[in-house]
Structure 1
Amino acid sequence: MATPLTASKLVQVLRAEGLTVHEVRNWRRHNRNAKGPYGPMNGVMIHHTVTSGTSSSVALCYEGHANLPGPLCHGVIDKKGEVHLVGNGRANHAGLGDSDVLRAVVNETKLPHDNAADTDGNRHFYGFECINLGDGKDPWPQVQKEAIEKVAAAICRAHGWSERSVIGHKEWQPGKVDPRGFTMDGMRARIADRLAGHGGDKGGKDPEPTPKPKPKTEYEPFPGGGFFHVGRSHPMITMMGHRLMAESCSRYESGPGPEWTEADRTSYAAWQHKLGFKGKDADGIPGKVSWDLLKVPKTRR
């Protein structure tokens, strides 16, 4: 159980996961909160749109239709793997579902078969519509499946949930078939892999439910903001610079070195801006959140 993420926080965590995020119209104040409660949040629900075309699909999910007003979800994931945010708050996406399924999601245990429609899912789930016809023939590009993985992992990471907090609409409401074209068990395995610190791309195939163990990379712990000042020299600063270059945040003219310089500060500020930080939170002095997300490998001393 968790308090819903604010609009700003949702954008921040999605971009921190490496996603391209588009903010659609008045999405930050677009919701169905007047029609019922929103929260506490318990999980993420994945759907397919039964439509094609990004612009028309996003417009439909924002506006809804005569029988079901929008927003119809919180975000739309297109075939390029980009996320279009259309709602912030209660959205018409989940409908009534099985209370036993909700209990399993809350407890993060194996899902039972959905055989009842007695619980308001719009209150408890973030919803993401993925552009696909859902006919079993329309392909799912790898970048789109990777984006689904990243979206779900970002929200799970923000709330401290595991992959078991992510379900498909077909696992919630009897009679639903979405998402069709990949298995939710396979997607949950990808999400678990990402939450463990690894990417979930398996070359076009869903991974095995139990991924093989991988060597654990050790990262430098945050040394505190006071560590970074003129006159400081440390191999960790060089490693930080290489990571900033890998994230396309380099402002170096001749490459990073062990001494803290203005080029380090401006490069780190670019990283903070990339994560969505602004003002004094993007002054180029590392903070714990941005440092942990940068994942600076441990240096040999």
Structure 2
Amino acid sequence: MKPTFSILITTKNRKDDLAFTLVKIQHLLIREAVECIICDDGSTDDTVLFLQSNYPEIQLIQNKKSEGLIYSRNRLMSLTKAEFAISIDDDLHFVTENPLAIIQKAFDANPQIGLLSFRIFWDLEAPESTDCNEVSYRMKSFAGGANVWRMAAWREVPNYPAWFMFYGEEDFASYHLFKSKWEIHYLPEVLVNHRVNIKARKKDTDYSLRLQRSLRSGWYLYFLFYPIPVIPRKLFYTLWIQLKTKVLKGDLKALKAVLLAMLDVLLAIPKIIKNSNRLSMKQYKEYQKLEETKLYWKPEDK
């Protein structure tokens, strides 16, 4: 029987996080209409053994060496046979008890929706209150690890850009969806808990690398999709913000990230030229009118 939903997870060296997530979504995995595929991106812990021993029903694929999050997500999307593909991070789980029925209803209600992005609570613990008065609406982009694709839409746009490595694939896809007349909607009825301490991330050893990749992906996107007259102003603004808020306050890690991101853009010029799919000025203005992407939710937002 062809599944209606695929739950797709990429993981690397986070067995405990993944184990917690799988326990939380077990009630979904046992449904006939659901398949689950996990891509292990070259883990060096015992993630693979854990999955093989405890979840033989899950389809497991492996990258012999780490290829990156975006490459792995492309592999997963290419394997699903379902009508809808749900991507979640290995440290994220559903708080909403029956998200599948809500997702199905939302897609059925609007055939132009190509992708739905969930309401995300970022914290190590689940929120005390899950009440929310928000309603669904169309927006520019989506959360990479908390979304569901209509696979008919996925097949009409290019794969995620694996050369981005990390960050930016969501906006890359969003521009292509926009040009193909597909819509992205925020779905607040489906609440997920991303078990991450945002404030502590700046102290992580990979802070500079994350910032570098975030900056360069934003700059890649400018050159790939923005009308040429818009690019200089956008570049200058983002560079000035980094200098003003980080570098000039003594954040040397941020300075390193900015310089390396600039170098990355120069090295990526051949790929940018090959993959460019620029919006017209009219399309750009229409896209800018869409609501900003909703990535963070707090109970007091209601």
Could you state the TM-score of these two structures normalised by the residue count of structure 2? 0.27
**Structure 1 or 2: more helix by fraction:** 2
Could you state the TM-score of these two structures normalised by the residue count of structure 1? 0.27
Max radius of gyration: which structure?
1
Higher relative contact order (CA 8 A, sep 6+): 2
